Amino acid sequence: MDTVAPPPRFDPRGLVELDERVPGTAAIDGDRGSFDARDLTTRQINLELRRLVYELGVREVTVRNPGAKHSLGVGILARCRITFEGSLGYFACGLIDGPEVHVTGRVGWSACENMMSGVCVIEGNAGSLTAAALRGGDVVVRGRVGARTGIDQKGGTVIVLGDAGSMTGFMMQRGRQIICGDAGHGLGDSMYDGTLYVGGKVASLGIDCVPGEWTEADTEFIARKFSIYGLGSPPELQKFVCGKKLYNYDSLEPSERKLVL
């Protein structure tokens, strides 16, 4: 007798690993917790993180051996400190609002995409699309970043100590980027607003990206951020802004204006 396979299960929220349970393996000491992620799946790691931060009120979490798994530390919406001892894969720490994250290794594509607030310090290199659609907070990359860093950025600050790839700041709408090394072709292409600072050579400027006038506010801002993150003395930086020839907010409908605030 043939058996009929049950229909595939579906979660409208897009969850995979539907039956995953919280591993509950973390060691907790006061408001600190840590766990080894080596044998855990992506969802198990994120469930354990949420259990510690949301349910147990742990304020400092250390995740050992993250193994460059993708989508770790996403959607954490609380004030806490999270340290990943190792490297992370794609979409690390996206959609966060509040955490202060420290990654001791590297990260793949799209780290900190759609980050609302908080801090993310990455000791190594970061892939393309770092801080895509960043809304607020600080993303600090001590290594280099790939292409399209801060694409569609709507706020916040990206600091890169090394070089940045092509199309950095593509379609940037607000916020700031400090690139201490060289920047690839098409810097600030089609940007609406925001500020780009570059310490090294710029291969070429993108459409409507023009040199900006340096002010005291720029000096204060750069000095403050370098001091906070212990980055030493800032290099001599060039400032770039939007030339406002291609787009400007005055022509936008009110509803569109709100999308970039």
> Which residues here bind other proteins, judged by CB under 8 A?
12-13, 50, 54-55, 75, 77-79, 97-100, 116-119, 135-138, 155-157, 174-175, 224, 228, 254, 258, 261
Q: Token pair for residue 132?
A: 């895509």
SS3 label, residue 119: strand
Complex with other proteins: residue 99 or 206, whichever CB lies closer: 99
**101, 99, 171, 182: which is closest to 133 by C-alpha?**
171
Nearest approach in angstroms of CB 156 to other proteins is 7
* Residue 54 Cα distances to 49, 51, 115, 126, angstroms: 8, 6, 18, 28
Question: In the complex with other proteins, which residue's Cβ is closer, 157 or 177?
Answer: 157
Nearest Cα residue to 79 out of 61, 99, 93: 99
Please say whether the beta carbons of 147 and 127 come within 8 A.
Answer: no
> 155 in helix, strand or coil?
strand
CA dihedral 131, 136, 137, 139 (to 10 degrees): 10
13 versus 245: smaller Cβ distance to other proteins: 13
Q: How far is the CB of 195 from other proteins (least distance, A)?
A: 12
Beta bridge partners of 33: 28, 61
Q: How far is the CB of 201 from other proteins (least distance, A)?
A: 28
94/175 with CB nearer other proteins: 175
Query: In this complex, which beta carbon is closest to other proteins, that of residue 113 or of residue 138?
Result: 138
